Amino acid sequence: MAEIVNLRQFRKRKLRAEAERTAAENRVRHGRTKSQKQRDEAEQAEAQQRLDALRRDRPEHAD
C-alpha cells in the first residue's frame, strides 16, 4: 500500500522550502556585511574630499 500523506503538511513543507530558497538567493544578491558597507562609505567620502580639494573655486556656503 501507498504511504498516507497529509496534503496540508506537504504544502506547508513545500512553501517553506521555496521561501528558504528565495531567501538564500536574496542573501547572495543583496547581502553585504557591515564592514563592507562602512568601507564603501569611507572610500566614497575620501573620493568626495579629494574632489573638493581639487576644485578651483570653492562654493561660498555648503548646504
Q: Cell 528558504 sits at which residue?
A: 20
Mean pLDDT score, 47-53:
93
**Which pLDDT score, from 0 to 100, does residue 9 have?**
95
Q: What is the pTM of this model?
A: 0.47
**Which pLDDT score, from 0 to 100, does residue 45 have?**
97
| Distance separating alpha carbons of residues 2 and 21, to the nearest angstrom | 29
Work out the pLDDT band at 63, boundaries 50, 70, 90.
low
* 17-47 residue pLDDT tens: 999 999 999 998 888 888 998 999 999 999 9
3-class SS at 54?
coil
| Distance separating alpha carbons of residues 16 and 5, to the nearest angstrom | 17
